[in-house]
Amino acid sequence: MCEVFNAATKPYRCKPVLTLLEEVRRYAMTSMARNKLKLSSHVGHLPPIQQSRLAKERYYSRYHTPMWSGDAAEVMFEVNGEPHNVVVNLGNQTCSCRFWQLSGLPCRRAITAISVMNGRPENYVHAWLTMGSDVG
Residues in the chain: 136
Closest CA to 107 of 47, 66, 69: 66
CB of 81 to Zn ion, least distance (A): 7
> β-strands 94-95, 66-68: how paired?
unpaired
Nearer CB in complex with Zn ion: 76/97: 97
Q: Residue of minimal CB distance from Zn ion?
A: 95
Q: Closest approach of Cβ 83 to Zn ion, in Å?
A: 13
Smallest separation (angstroms) from Zn ion to the CB of 57:
9
Q: Which residues pair with 79 in a beta bridge?
A: 66, 86
Name which of 27 and 99 has its Cβ closer to Zn ion: 99
Q: Applying CB under 5 A, which residues contact Zn ion?
A: 95, 97, 99, 107, 109
